[in-house]
A and B are shown apart, each in its own frame.
Chain A
C-alpha cells in the first residue's frame, strides 16, 4: 500500500533514518505498544468526577455558570460526607470550545481514570468526545441540547435538560395554539445552537400548519442586523422567533426596537437569562416569550433554596445553566450512591434507573439519554422572567 501523495526523496540521510527505523521495527515487532487494560474498580479513595467546559473563548460564560452549578452540588454532597464515606473530587478542565482540545481531554479523563464527566455546554465538543468516552465506558452528563447528541446513540451520554425539539415544540404550541399567532418571523444564527433551534422550531410550526413569514439566517459573529430586521419588519409579523445565544439575541432585539419593530420576540433558554436582558435593554426585552425548563429562582421551594445557596457561595444570581448543571451533578451523585460507587456500564445503568426530582422537573432517562421532555412558557416582565399567566 503506497501513497502517491507522500513524496519520497532519496538521499543518504534518509537512508540512514530508514535503516535505523527498520532496525527499531525489527526489535519491537514482537509486541505492539499499548496500555494494558486494567478495569479494576477503585473502591477506595476519592471519586473523581470531571467538569469539562469552555473557560476561555466565546462560550466561556456558559462554562463558568455550569461549573458553579456542578460544584455547588458536589460541595453539598461532600459536606454531607460524600458517598459511602468517599469524598467526591471535582476537577475542571478547559476545552476552549475546541473539539480537538475536547478529544485530548477525553483521552486524559480515560487515562487519569475519571469515573464520570459533567459537560460540555457546546454540542460540537461533546459530540467529538463521545466516541472516546463511549469506548472507555465513562458516563457523560452534558448540558448540550442539540438533537445531534441524541443521534450519537451513545449509552453513556445523558442530557441534563430537554432537547431543542422539546423547547421549540412547546414554544410553537404556545404561540400558535394559545396565542393564535399566524404570522411568525424567524431569525436564527448558523452556529450549532442556532441551527438546531432553526430546524426544531421550523418543524414544529409547520407541523401546526403555519409557515414562517420570513426565515432570516445570520452569522454567529454578526453585529449589524439592519438588513434582516428590515425584511422582517416589512412582513409585519405578530411574533418573531429568535434562535441565537444570549449576547447576539440581545443585540438583535435592541436593534429591532430601534427599527420600530414592536412585535414580541420568542425563544428558548438563552432569552431568559440576565445577559440577554442586559444586552437588549430592559425596555426592549419586555414581553419576550421564553420556553424554558427553569423560568426563575422563585418557581419552587427547591429553586429558592438553590438560588440562596448559589448566592451564598458565589455572590451572584443563579440562572438556568447553573441549575441544569446542578441537576445533572445531583443525578450523577445519586446514581453513584445507589450503585455504591459503581463505574462504567453499571454506573450508566444506574443513571438510567435514577428518578430524580430536580430544579428543572422530574428526570427519568429513556434509551436515548434524554431525561426530561417538558418546558414551561415564561414571559419577561420588568426585566424578570416570570411564568406565563
Chain B
C-alpha cells in the first residue's frame, strides 16, 4: 500500500512536468493548429538558460526563471518567423520543419554549454514531508503548484481576454479571423512565443529535479507529446490530465516491468489512443475516412 502510494506520488511529480510540457504543445496546437516537435528542445534550452542564470549569474531562482522564459519566448518568435510562409498551408511540412529546429537547438546547446551537462541544486531547502510513511518532496509540491497556476492562467487568458479569443479564432478559420481584423501573423507569433515560454517554465522547473543536458528534450518531449494526445490535443485541462496519467503510468510500469517499462508504457499508450483517438477532452475528430 505504502509502495503503491509512494509510486503514485513519484508519478504525479514527474507527471506535473509532463503536464507543463503538454500544455505548451496544446496551446500552440489550439491557437495555430501546429504540432511543434521542437517544443521539448525549447524546454531543454530553457532549462539550460534558467540554470545558467541561477548558478552562474547567481540570480534568485524565480528571477532566473523569468529571464529564461523571456529568452526562449524570443527563440519562439524566431522559429515562428522562419516557418511563417508555411502557416495555414501545409502543417505536416511545418511539423517536419519543427523537427529540423529541434535538431538545430540540440546542436546549439552542445556548442554553447558543452556535452557534459550540469546538476542544478534545488532552490527549496526544506526536507521532504512525511505523510504516513509516504514522502513528498517540497520542491515537487512547488512544481505542482506552478503547474496549477499555469493552467489557471492559460485558461483565463484563452477564455477571458480578447487576445486569447483572437488566437483561437485564428486556429479555427484564419481567413475569417483576418476578415474581422485580427492580425494573424502577430497572433500566431504571440501564441508561439507563449508556447515557448511555457516550455522554458517546464524546462527550468525540471532542472533541479533531474539533470540538464542536451538530451533532456528527448526525455521530456515524446512523453509530453503522448500526454497531450492522451488528454486531447489542444485542450488545456486535457494536457494536465494526460501529463499526470503518463507520469503515473510511467512510474507504475517502472515498478512492475522494470527494464521493460518503456515498451509497456508505449503499448498501453497506443492501445488507449486507438480506443479513443481524440483523447479525454479532445474536441476535434482525427480521421473521418
Judged by CB atoms under 8 Å, the answer to whether A and B touch is yes
Report the separation of the CA atoms of residues A64 and B115 in the bound assembly, to the nearest whole angstrom: 8
**Contact indicator B115/A275 (Cβ below 8 Å):** no
Q: Which residue of A lies closest to B107 (CB)?
A: A56
B151 at interface by CB-CB < 8 Å: no
Residue of A55, A226, A260 touching B115 (CB-CB under 8 A): A55
From B115, B121, B128, residue with most partner A Cβ within 10 Å = B115
- Which residues from B are CB-within-8-Å of A189? 259
Chain-B contact segment, one of A98-106, A228-236, A345-353, A377-385: A228-236
Per-residue B-contact encoding for A205-233, CB less than 8 Å = 1, 0 else: 00000000000111101111111101100
Residue of A225, A258, A281 touching B254 (CB-CB under 8 A): A225
Residue of B115, B118, B219, B252 touching A227 (CB-CB under 8 A): B252
**Contact indicator A224/B137 (Cβ below 8 Å):** no
Within residues 244 to 259 of chain A, which ones have a CB less than 8 A from any CB in chain B? 247, 250-251, 255, 258-259
Residue of A60, A190, A219, A259 touching B6 (CB-CB under 8 A): A259
B52 at interface by CB-CB < 8 Å: no
- Which residues from A are CB-within-8-Å of B119? 247, 250, 275, 278-279, 281
The interface residues of chain B, by DSSP majority, are classed as helix
Residue of B7, B117, B210 touching A223 (CB-CB under 8 A): B210
- Which residues from A are CB-within-8-Å of B7? 226-227, 230
B262 at interface by CB-CB < 8 Å: yes
**Contact indicator A218/B254 (Cβ below 8 Å):** yes
Report the separation of the CA atoms of residues A258 and B14 in the bound assembly, to the nearest whole angstrom: 15
A61 at interface by CB-CB < 8 Å: yes
Per-residue A-contact encoding for B242-264, CB less than 8 Å = 1, 0 else: 00000100111011101101100
- Which residues from B are CB-within-8-Å of A227? 3, 6-7, 10, 251-252, 254-256
Within residues 181 to 221 of chain B, which ones have a CB less than 8 A from any CB in chain A? 209-211, 213, 215, 218-219
Q: Which residue of B lies closest to A247 (CB)?
A: B211
From A63, A218, A223, residue with most partner B Cβ within 10 Å = A223
- Which residues from B are CB-within-8-Å of A61? 115-117
Within the complex, the shortest CB–CB distance from A43 to chain B, in Å, comes to: 38
Residue of B2, B114, B135, B215 touching A258 (CB-CB under 8 A): B135
Q: Which residue of B lies closest to A259 (CB)?
A: B135
Within residues 1 to 22 of chain B, which ones have a CB less than 8 A from any CB in chain A? 2-3, 6-7, 9-11, 13-14
- Which residues from B are CB-within-8-Å of A250? 119, 211
Report the separation of the CA atoms of residues A228 and B253 in the bound assembly, to the nearest whole angstrom: 11
Within the complex, the shortest CB–CB distance from B256 to chain A, in Å, comes to: 8
Q: List 21 A-B contacts (CB under 8 A).
A: A56-B110, A57-B215, A58-B213, A61-B116, A64-B115, A216-B258, A218-B261, A219-B259, A219-B262, A221-B218, A226-B11, A226-B255, A227-B7, A230-B2, A231-B3, A234-B3, A247-B211, A251-B210, A251-B211, A260-B130, A260-B135
Q: Which residue of A lies closest to B252 (CB)?
A: A227
**Contact indicator A224/B254 (Cβ below 8 Å):** yes
Within the complex, the shortest CB–CB distance from A7 to chain B, in Å, comes to: 29
**Contact indicator B115/A225 (Cβ below 8 Å):** no
Interface size on B, residues (CB 8 A): 39
- Which residues from A are CB-within-8-Å of B3? 227, 230-231, 234
**Contact indicator B135/A223 (Cβ below 8 Å):** no
Within the complex, the shortest CB–CB distance from A286 to chain B, in Å, comes to: 15
From B211, B218, B256, residue with most partner A Cβ within 10 Å = B211
**Contact indicator B10/A224 (Cβ below 8 Å):** yes
**Contact indicator B250/A224 (Cβ below 8 Å):** yes
**Contact indicator B210/A231 (Cβ below 8 Å):** no
- Which residues from B are CB-within-8-Å of A230? 2-3, 6-7, 255
Q: Which residue of A lies closest to B130 (CB)?
A: A260
Contacts known (A217-B258, A223-B14, A231-B3); A279 close to B137, Cβ less than 8 A? no
Residue of A58, A60, A231, A255 touching B255 (CB-CB under 8 A): A231
The chain A residues found within 8 Å of chain B, CB to CB, are 55-58, 60-61, 63-64, 189-190, 216-219, 221-228, 230-231, 234, 247, 250-251, 255, 258-260, 275, 278-279, 281
Within the complex, the shortest CB–CB distance from A284 to chain B, in Å, comes to: 11
Residue of B6, B116, B118, B130 touching A226 (CB-CB under 8 A): B6
Within the complex, the shortest CB–CB distance from B250 to chain A, in Å, comes to: 7
- Which residues from B are CB-within-8-Å of A56? 110, 115
Not counting A61-B117, A219-B261, A260-B128, a sample of 4 additional A-B residue pairs whose C-beta atoms are within 8 angstroms of each other reads A61-B115, A63-B115, A224-B250, A228-B254
- Which residues from A are CB-within-8-Å of B251? 224, 226-227
Within the complex, the shortest CB–CB distance from B245 to chain A, in Å, comes to: 14
**Contact indicator B211/A217 (Cβ below 8 Å):** no
**Contact indicator B254/A279 (Cβ below 8 Å):** no
Within the complex, the shortest CB–CB distance from B248 to chain A, in Å, comes to: 10
- Which residues from B are CB-within-8-Å of A228? 254-255, 258
Report the separation of the CA atoms of residues A222 and B247 in the bound assembly, to the nearest whole angstrom: 11
Within the complex, the shortest CB–CB distance from B253 to chain A, in Å, comes to: 9
Within the complex, the shortest CB–CB distance from A235 to chain B, in Å, comes to: 11
**Contact indicator B14/A224 (Cβ below 8 Å):** yes
Report the separation of the CA atoms of residues A52 and B139 in the bound assembly, to the nearest whole angstrom: 41
Report the separation of the CA atoms of residues A221 and B6 in the bound assembly, to the nearest whole angstrom: 21
Within residues 106 to 154 of chain B, which ones have a CB less than 8 A from any CB in chain A? 110, 114-119, 121, 128, 130, 135, 137
- Which residues from A are CB-within-8-Å of B115? 55-56, 60-61, 63-64
Report the separation of the CA atoms of residues A112 and B121 in the bound assembly, to the nearest whole angstrom: 47
Within the complex, the shortest CB–CB distance from A229 to chain B, in Å, comes to: 8
**Contact indicator B10/A281 (Cβ below 8 Å):** no
Within the complex, the shortest CB–CB distance from B118 to chain A, in Å, comes to: 8
- Which residues from B are CB-within-8-Å of A251? 210-211
Within the complex, the shortest CB–CB distance from B280 to chain A, in Å, comes to: 22
Within the complex, the shortest CB–CB distance from B147 to chain A, in Å, comes to: 16
Report the separation of the CA atoms of residues A219 and B10 in the bound assembly, to the nearest whole angstrom: 16
**Contact indicator A224/B135 (Cβ below 8 Å):** no
- Which residues from B are CB-within-8-Å of A234? 2-3
From A63, A255, A258, residue with most partner B Cβ within 10 Å = A258
- Which residues from B are CB-within-8-Å of A60? 110, 115-116
Nearest 7 pairs of A and B residues by beta carbon: A226-B10, A227-B255, A60-B115, A190-B259, A61-B116, A279-B119, A217-B258
